[in-house]
Structure 1
Amino acid sequence: MKYKVFIDGKEGTTGLRIYDRLANRSDIELMLIPEELRKDPKERAKYINSSDITFLCLPDQAAIEAVSLVTNDNVRIIDASTAHRTDPNWAYGFPELGQDFLEKIKKSNRVAVPGCYASGFMSIVYPLVKLGIAGVDYPFSANAISGYSGAGKKAIAIYEDENRDKKYDAPRLYAMSQSHKHLKEMQAIPGLSQKPLFNPYVCPFLEGMLVTVPLYLDGLEGEYSPKAIHDLLENYYSNQDFVRVMPFDEKGTEDGFLSANHLEGKDYLEIYVSGNEERISITACLDNLGKGASGAALECMNIMLGLDSKTSLNM
């Protein structure tokens, strides 16, 4: 059996990565809309409603419009935009967070793919709250760096221009007003009482991401050492292919360094726990286009179709 798949927004970085991963699959028939009609609502509606799975790789408003075009109840939508991530009628596409997340993805016709920064943050904070290690009122914060591939076509062109302004040669802090678009889901999914403090940086490398959540141990709901928290996270994600808790080292890694592009091209996420008896850092490392976007979307598709979740992904 071949599943008909339409990618609405194939020209963007997320859509192109999904297309590349599906192009050689014998069980997938990719539906390609003519270039001159890709923004025509009537034509898009025809493709969406004749598909088994439609990926939305679009800005929020365009994604909302695309959903409004659905008239076929059997069409299953996977939305990579921000538009539906906190909508209770949509499954949140991070199955490793718990069996309830996995089951909802399996059964749903509407799945929202997590944001890239949110994926790193959620992989750390959700189990901390779920296991009772940290309360929902803990004042979480996160520092994060990302490659420029997630910044959109215009930004990518600037970064890859040999004559670019030298300011693009250094990490650049942004969303300084504490209003980043991922904050809504970062608060809602783990049920936090307030939005975390969040400082993201876009950096002059193509792909990769680090998201670090620092913790004061005396602010947690019990007495924990860094090793104890590591072991609890390791157990939480035991037997998970897409989230891997790395061996404990108080320095994080053997040499005390962790590169943000360490998992470039991969579709899984790694968690590192480090620190001392007073303060701890937990860091998620991922490819912002892998587990942070396209890889997560394809993982969800595989689950929805009852396939091996790793199919066509780089593990």
Structure 2
Amino acid sequence: MNNDLGSASTDRNWERATLEKLVFATIKEQQSARRWKIFMRLVWLAIIGAIGWMVYTNNTVASSASTPHTAVIQIKGEIASGAEASAEYVVDALRTAFEDKGAQAIVLLIDSPGGSPVQAGIINDEITRLKALHNKKVYAVVEETCASAAYYIAAAADNIYVDKASLVGSIGVLMDGFGFTGLMDKLGIERRLMTAGANKAMLDPFSPQDDAQRAYIQSMLGEIHDQFIEVVKKGRGERLKVTPDTFSGLVWSGQQAVNLGLADQLGNLDYVAREVVKAEEIVDYTHKENVGLRLARRFGASVGEGLFVAARSAGVQLK
């Protein structure tokens, strides 16, 4: 009889313990679900906030440019597709600045060793078009360097201002590479190259240089050089004092550039805004990576990690 009572008591204790476990498990699951809902709401709030921030940053220039001002577009670093000084970004900034009624003139603030003649040509052409369309002046202000493709762009400006120690010029075209045929011969390496087209492997660094191909490339570089020279002559006009070295690829100091007619006078950004444009307020139209987009990307990475942690804490398996 006592054994039966003990057995019944044990069963009741087991049932109670099982029920308690089930209740606690249910409560824990409900708490996890609530935490997950709260987390997802925070995620959506953050996304909405990021979108609002992007809209705000996109409209910052327009809202700050209601009064008369000097519009500045920086051209810094390599001029190349995908770079900050690419035609895509510079042209977009130019159009925004020209279309803003508050912008009294546009200043190209240049510090670049050059880059792609194609990108520079696109920018030069667009400056010429926009000047005629909006009847606004464009001034180039050189900081450290304005060479090669950078000078190609500056030539479209109405006036070029430099520091006396700036580096200006390098009106030339180059194409460089390496040749490894001698080293391959010493190492006993055989080049096995198959092509369809007699000139398909032109400039291949592991093959001997072909005189006919070299002459072809040289003529092509000469043609691009002539285009560069024409742009400079058109932009500088009678101010340019042509010498045998003008288009040789040499660079000059800012003071020498003024003497040669490659630049107009010494001056910096503040001087041009104050004394030339007569609008001391400066508004920067330079393309910059949108802060909202950058934060959104970083936020996206954080969200991914947060989702993983939250899913793991909620008992969700990611496979």
Give the TM-score normalised by the residue count of structure 2: 0.26
Q: Which has the larger radius of gyration?
A: 2
Structure with greater helix percent: 2
Using the size of structure 1 for normalisation, the TM-score is 0.27
